[in-house]
């Protein structure tokens, strides 16, 4: 019988009734037995008065069947301090009530299971926190709130006591009880058989609520309640065992907030079900908040995960690291492939940990070094490999643990080559060390770099210092996560980062994996802009790029890396002055004519006291190595400009017209004055005349109005043309708010002196200011994408200089950020840091330009010293080196790629991993870059082929001959856009036979992808020869 509205109907039968409970609200409490302070309050069931030392209970008057599956759901609102409330199953009495205070009204009731929602950390029962859920039982005896009677507990949940309405759901099948708070993710579960735990002669018990207060008060309101018997049919499946957490290993050791290793396992399932996926979560502890998670992640990350595998949430949304110096609670659970929604998920395992400081040193941790790509050992100053000379015993370079578990060794061979021995994978992560052994002869080595890739495809450059050892001796160094080495003392078992042996030579670090930063040239003085020669020659001495220096020099970088002077002494005044202040002016933007090779530059010149802007054209007669002549093509005399707010960026457009960015000269009224050049972006021909198609060109006497491309800007430091939408974009400095905007010809950007005006037409505002000074797009039309992966194409990159001549890392600036922009010029994502400053000196980023082999930037100041105008700044390059890591630890060769782009704008990829040895039968396929929540499966064949768009697909089938489809292992790509399968080499899908030694097999993935006129797509292929 069901109680349809608010009351509980009672059976007239003598046998115990099997009655469900349904209270939409509590405007009536008919069918309930209220005990103690429990009472009806409006439409709510109030369990106690909002006063001290209260206790109350409310029970469904008819016992319910609690040994078969049941489902409970109720909404509650807790307001105040404590102690909390409980949902209780008991066979004591219909009017049972226990002790108040920390016993929450259930303590002392016999033959009971209580699910407590405790909001006050009491000392005597040893409550784990002041916000926790615990399942308590004393069996047939009296139940107690003491921790000793807890069958399971967790503090990893939302705040129960903030006055919010919480929805609680409890699911039970014999052998498993689960508790859910506010969402579909299990808050707590425990292996429990109620019939065995309690003494129930007929399988029934009273169900209801209890609550209590002590010296603190709380209001406990139950707003609705349902109890459904026989809510599901048991399948006999047993949930997977709780994972054993091996990392984080310690609650007291500080962990790197950028890279928390999470490892758990092994997967244990009583039904021998397979491990389908894993949930990983990280919560803050005070307040309790979910801040990072992965959702049913498959593949290798089922047992080993990193922050980059998941999504930051709540207060951490948009971050790429955890907050430093904070306590967190980590938890993990496994899911089997049974398909039983009640038992497919195992119990959560939890562990607390702490993050260290952002600037601390953390150990380099790994458990294996892969052989593909192979380790590289080279001299730091060149690409040459050191060769160890034979001796007895042999000299060696060893990567190992403190207790001599070897990951990798490099030993002398024949005096011309070295022998590399890649050791087996270790059982657990180690804090790695490098040991250098001299062997039977003295060993002298200059500084060397050992470049390795670990089993997680993370590349690390280990910086080994110069070595001078007598015969039969050795030296050991600890390695920090940035690759620096530190002197190890004898007998140490934990890393000691006290004495640096060799550290990073660069203060710049890549914030995204797969990128390498390197110095291209040095010895610059305030380098502000970079421009690459569009059609550079191929000889070593040919010009490659030009770099403008603020104090009046244009330098040329040649193909061989040498630097010469193209033009110098370009300022007719002494530019030195205060930094920040009057010293921040001089030569600014440069551009190159792709036809003649002429260089255009913007600068200030003195005419008496004021400084005025001009654009100068330089020509060369020696192939662009030096300027042979210079001509002023536009002199803006009378338009006074000074530090920072001067003529900044120049850009050559495809039609060979020139854009010139003009600051307002600290006079905001000039920006919207159409008779002034200042506060504008101008467009001119290469002879200095205005372009007739300019928005305000009138064809009469030439004035500033004829040159105006846009008006109403303050200090448009940087800009670039974007190929995909045909618009120029700018980054602009404001007083305390900066602007990133798409440039629409003829538009007034409305700068008139107020920070609020910087929001006009902005796709993004930096508030407070970060000093964005240059902009570059990675795009196919600019040097073929600069060697960056296609996933970065059409992304903008901005150099944010930060405070002038500031030392050390800065929260605002001293970084390069990445941006995604849609076709309408709106921001999709950003700022995402690509490169940031991590040193202790003065260097800051300024110039930025996409080059043929990477994204180039200049650090404006020499990093050391206190003189902002000193020579010693660098030209640096950001290179994508991760392209070869796609095969890291993988098998076979990719072919038939890249695949046709799917609806994500990316080509799907398939990779093989595991073992090529047939006898091992350890072979897996990973499919990535899929649309989210897309259905798909893998295919296999001994034959390659090529069929264009079979069955109306948008992709190509790259298999031929007899093809098997792994439809029994069909997958959903989920939120991550990935899936993977384990291939049983002895049982390939029909009509294929088993894999034999020496055969080459080819694999591909098919998946659903709804686009215009098509419904599916394919990945590329991978070919593997088995041994």
Residue 435 clears pLDDT 60, i.e. is over it: yes
pLDDT in tens, 506-522: 889 888 877 888 888 89
pLDDT of residue 598: 98
Pairing state between β 527-532 and 890-891: unpaired
In a domain, 11, yes or no: no
- pLDDT tens, residue by residue, 461-478: 899 999 999 999 999 999
In-domain check, residue 10: no
In terms of domains, do 756 and 624 share one?
yes
Q: Is residue 798 part of a domain?
A: yes
Mean pLDDT of 932-947: 92
Match 């190595």 to its residue by tokens.
625
Report the distance separating Cα 1016 and Cα 937, nearest Å.
Answer: 12
Helical (H) or strand (E) element with 434:
strand 433-437
Beta strands 349-355 and 254-255 are parallel
List the single range of 22-31, 274-283, 438-447, 898-907 with lowest mean pLDDT: 898-907
Q: What is the mean pLDDT of residues 523-551?
A: 93
CATH number for 325: 2.60.40.10
- Say yes or no to pLDDT of 10 above 70: no
pLDDT of residue 252: 79
Distance CA 625, CA 616 (A): 17
| Lowest model confidence (mean pLDDT) among 830-844, 877-891, 1013-1027 | 877-891
Instruction: Identify whether residues 596 and 474 lie together within a single domain.
Output: no
pLDDT the model gives residue 5: 31
The reply to whether 234 falls in a domain is no
Domain boundary among 229, 261, 281: 229
Is the domain of 857 the same as that of 918? no
CA–CA gap between residue 601 and residue 649 (Å, rounded): 9
Torsion of CA 51, 55, 61, 66, to 10 degrees: 120
Least confident window among 109-113, 613-617, 898-902: 898-902
Q: Are residues 608 and 746 in the same domain?
A: yes
**Any domain includes 7:** no
349 burial level (CB within 10 Å; 0-12, 13-18, 19+) = middle
DSSP 100-164: -GGGTTTTT-BSEEEEEEE-S--TTTT-S-SSEEEEEE-TTSB---SGGGEEEEE--S--TTEEE
In terms of Cβ atoms closer than 10 Å to its own Cβ (0-12, 13-18, 19+), residue 402 is middle
Q: The tokens 């784990």 sit on which residue?
A: 128
- Name 609's Cβ contacts closer than 8 Å, sequence gap at least 6: none
CA-to-CA dists, residue 587 to 521, 604, 642, 643, angstroms = 20, 7, 11, 11
Residue range 207-263, pLDDT digits in tens: 999 999 999 999 999 999 999 987 667 788 899 999 999 888 878 778 888 778 788
Give the pLDDT score at 381.
64
Q: Which of 343, 255, 268 is nearest to 303 (CA)?
A: 268
pLDDT of residue 184: 61
pLDDT at 358: 66
Confidence of residue 580 (pLDDT cuts 50, 70, 90): low
Taking a C-beta distance cutoff of 8 angstroms, is the pair 514, 573 a contact?
A: no
Do 303 and 420 have their domain in common?
no
- Band of residue 356 on the pLDDT scale cut at 50, 70, 90: confident
* Joined tokens for residue 272: 């021998």
pLDDT tops 50 at residue 7: no
Over 70: is that where the pLDDT of 565 sits?
yes
How many other C-beta atoms can be found within 10 angstroms of the C-beta atom of residue 501?
A: 19
| CATH number of the domain within which 629 lies | 2.120.10.30
Specify the CATH number for the domain of residue 137. Answer: 2.60.120.200
Structure tokens at 445: 């080595």
Let me know if residue 836 belongs to a domain: yes
One domain, residues 68 and 46: yes
Digit-coded pLDDT (tens) for 717-776: 999 999 999 999 999 999 889 999 999 999 999 999 999 999 999 999 999 899 999 999
Domain-ending residue, one of 330, 355, 380: 355
In a domain, 508, yes or no: no
471 plus 549 within the same structural domain: no
Across the chain, what does the average pLDDT equal? 90
> pLDDT tens for residues 670-728?
999 999 999 999 999 999 999 999 999 998 899 999 999 999 999 999 999 999 999 99
Indicate whether 342 and 375 sit together in one domain. Answer: no
pLDDT at 886: 44
Looking at the structure, tell me whether residues 133 and 42 fall in a common domain.
Answer: yes
Q: How confident is the model at residue 1027 (pLDDT cuts 50, 70, 90)?
A: confident
Distance CA 152, CA 149 (A): 9
With cut-offs at 50, 70 and 90, classify the pLDDT of residue 916.
Answer: confident
Q: Which of 851, 880, 909 is the last residue of a domain?
A: 880
Q: Of 140-149, 825-834, 838-847, give the lowest mean pLDDT range.
A: 838-847
Statement to judge: residues 398 and 446 lie in one domain:
yes
Structural domain including 272 reads 245-355
Tens digit of each residue's pLDDT (9 = 90 or more) over 946-974: 999 898 888 999 999 999 999 888 888 87
CA distance 404 to 426: 12
DSSP 704: H
User: Could you read off the pLDDT of 618-639 as tens digits, one per residue?
Assistant: 999 999 999 999 999 999 999 9
Lowest mean pLDDT among 396-405, 494-503, 656-665, 958-967: 494-503
pLDDT for res 17: 38
Q: Which residues of 646-662 are buried (b: 16+ CB within 10 A; e: fewer)?
A: bbbbbbbeeeebbbbbb
Model confidence band, residue 594 (pLDDT cutoffs 50, 70, 90): very high
Return the ∠ at Cα 414 (arms to 412 and 420), rounded to 5°.
45
Q: State whether 418 and 538 are in the same domain.
A: no
Q: Is the pTM of this model over 0.85?
A: no
Q: How many independent structural domains does the chain possess?
A: 5
**Cα separations (Å) of 871 from 299, 581, 703, 865?**
51, 19, 40, 11
- Spatial distance between the Cα atoms of 379 and 516, rounded to a whole number of angstroms: 17
Same domain membership, residue 629 and residue 603:
yes
| Confidence tier at 576 by pLDDT (50, 70, 90) | confident
| Structural domain includes residue 650 | yes
């Amino acid at each position: 019988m069901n109680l349809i509205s608010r009351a509980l109907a009672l059976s007239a039968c003598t046998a115990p009734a099997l009655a469900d409970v349904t209270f939409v609200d509590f405007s009536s409490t008919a069918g309930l037995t209220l005990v103690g302070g429990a009472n009806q309050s409006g439409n709510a069931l109030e369990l106690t008065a909002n006063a001290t030392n209260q206790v109350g209970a409310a029970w469904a008057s008819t016992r319910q069947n609690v040994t078969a599956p049941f489902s409970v759901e109720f909404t509650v609102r807790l307001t105040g301090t404590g102690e909390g409330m409980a949902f209780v199953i008991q066979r004591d009495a219909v009017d049972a009530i226990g002790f108040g205070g920390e016993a929450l009204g259930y303590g002392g009731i016999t033959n009971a299971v209580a699910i407590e929602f405790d909001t006050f950390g009491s000392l005597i029962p040893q409550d784990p926190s002041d916000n926790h859920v615990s399942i308590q039982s004393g069996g047939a005896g009296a139940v107690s709130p003491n921790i000793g009677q807890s069958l399971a507990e967790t503090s990893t949940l939302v705040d129960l006591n903030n006055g919010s309405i919480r929805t609680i759901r409890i699911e039970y099948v014999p052998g498993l009880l689960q508790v859910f708070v506010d969402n579909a993710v299990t808050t707590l579960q425990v292996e429990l058989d109620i019939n065995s735990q309690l003494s129930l002669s007929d399988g029934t018990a009273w169900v209801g609520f209890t609550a209590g207060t002590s010296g603190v008060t709380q209001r406990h309101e139950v707003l609705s309640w349902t109890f459904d018997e026989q809510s599901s049919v048991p399948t006999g499946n047993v949930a997977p065992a709780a994972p054993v957490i091996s990392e984080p290993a310690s609650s007291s050791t500080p962990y790197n907030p950028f890279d928390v290793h999470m490892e758990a396992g092994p997967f244990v399932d009583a039904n021998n079900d397979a491990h389908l996926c894993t949930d990983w979560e990280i919560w803050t502890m005070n307040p309790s908040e979910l801040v990072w998670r992965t959702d049913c992640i498959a593949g290798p990350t089922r047992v080993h995960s990193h922050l980059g595998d998941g999504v930051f949430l709540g207060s951490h949304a948009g971050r790429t690291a955890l907050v430093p110096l904070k306590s967190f609670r980590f938890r993990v659970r496994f899911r089997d492939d049974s398909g039983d929604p009640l038992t497919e998920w195992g119990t959560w395992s939890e562990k607390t940990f702490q993050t260290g400081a952002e600037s601390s040193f953390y150990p380099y941790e790994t458990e294996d070094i892969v052989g593909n790509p192979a380790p590289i050992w080279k001299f730091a100053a060149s690409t040459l490999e050191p060769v160890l000379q034979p001796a007895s015993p042999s000299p060696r370079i060893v990567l190992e643990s403190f207790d001599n578990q070897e990951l990798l060794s490099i030993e002398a061979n024949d005096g011309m080559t070295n022998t590399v021995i890649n050791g087996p994978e270790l059982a657990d992560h180690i804090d790695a060390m490098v040991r250098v052994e001299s062997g039977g002869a003295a060993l002298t080595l200059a500084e060397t770099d050992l470049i390795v890739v670990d089993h997680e495809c993370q590349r690390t450059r280990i910086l080994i210092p110069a070595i001078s050892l007598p015969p039969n001796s050795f030296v050991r160094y600890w390695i920090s996560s940035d690759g620096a080495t530190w002197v190890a003392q004898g007998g140490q078992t934990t890393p000691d980062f006290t004495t640096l042996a060799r550290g990073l030579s660069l203060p710049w670090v890549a914030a995204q994996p797969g990128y390498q930063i390197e110095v291209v040239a040095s010895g610059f003085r305030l380098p502000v802009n970079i421009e690459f020669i569009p059609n550079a020659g191929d000889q070593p001495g040919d010009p490659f790029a030009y770099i403008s220096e603020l104090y009046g020099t244009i330098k040329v970088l040649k193909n061989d890396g040498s630097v010469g002077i193209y033009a110098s002494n370009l300022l007719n005044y002494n530019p030195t002055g205060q930094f920040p202040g009057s010293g921040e002016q001089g030569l600014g933007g440069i551009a190159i004519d792709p036809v003649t090779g002429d260089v255009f530059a913007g600068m200030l010149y003195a005419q008496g006291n004021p400084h005025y802007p001009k654009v100068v054209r330089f020509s060369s007669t020696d192939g662009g190595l030096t300027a042979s002549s210079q001509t002023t093509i536009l002199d803006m005399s009378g338009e006074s400009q000074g530090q920072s707010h001067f003529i900044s960026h120049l850009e050559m457009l495809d039609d060979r017209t020139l854009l010139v960015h003009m600051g307002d000269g600290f006079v905001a009224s000039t920006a919207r004055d159409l008779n002034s050049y200042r506060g504008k972006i101008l467009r001119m021909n290469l002879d200095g005349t205005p372009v007739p198609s300019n928005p305000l060109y009138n064809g009469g006497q030439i004035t500033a109005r004829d040159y105006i491309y846009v008006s109403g800007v303050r200090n448009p430091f940087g800009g670039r043309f974007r190929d995909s939408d045909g618009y120029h974009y700018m980054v602009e400095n404001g007083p305390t708010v900066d602007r990133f905007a798409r440039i629409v010809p003829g538009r007034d950007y409305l700068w008139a002196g107020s920070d609020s005006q910087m929001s006009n037409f902005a796709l993004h505002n930096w508030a407070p200011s970060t000093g964005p000074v240059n902009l570059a797009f990675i795009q196919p039309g600019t040097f073929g994408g600069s060697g960056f992966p296609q996933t970065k194409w059409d992304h903008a990159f901005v150099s944010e200089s930060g405070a002038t001549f500031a030392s050390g890392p800065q929260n605002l600036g001293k970084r390069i950020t990445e941006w995604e922009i849609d076709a309408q010029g709106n921001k999709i994502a950003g700022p995402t840091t690509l490169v940031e400053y991590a040193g202790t000196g003065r260097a800051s980023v300024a110039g930025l330009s996409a080059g043929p082999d990477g994204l180039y930037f200049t650090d404006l100041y020499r990093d050391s010293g206190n003189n902002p105008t000193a020579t010693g700044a660098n030209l640096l390059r950001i290179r994508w080196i991760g392209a070869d890591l796609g095969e890291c630890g993988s098998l076979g060769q990719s072919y038939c790629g890249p695949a046709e782009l799917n609806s994500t704008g990316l080509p799907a990829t398939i990779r093989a991993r595991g073992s090529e040895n047939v006898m091992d039968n350890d072979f897996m396929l990973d499919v990535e870059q899929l649309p989210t929540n897309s259905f798909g499966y893998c295919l296999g064949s001994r034959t390659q082929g090529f069929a264009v768009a079979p069955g109306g697909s948008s992709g190509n089938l790259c298999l031929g001959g007899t093809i098997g489809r792994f439809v029994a292992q069909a997958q959903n790509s989920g939120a991550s856009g990935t899936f993977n399968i384990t291939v049983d080499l002895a049982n390939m899908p029909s009509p294929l036979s088993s894999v034999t030694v020496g055969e080459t097999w080819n694999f591909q993935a098919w998946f659903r992808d709804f686009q215009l006129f098509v419904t599916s797509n394919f990945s590329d292929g991978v070919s593997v020869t088995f041994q």
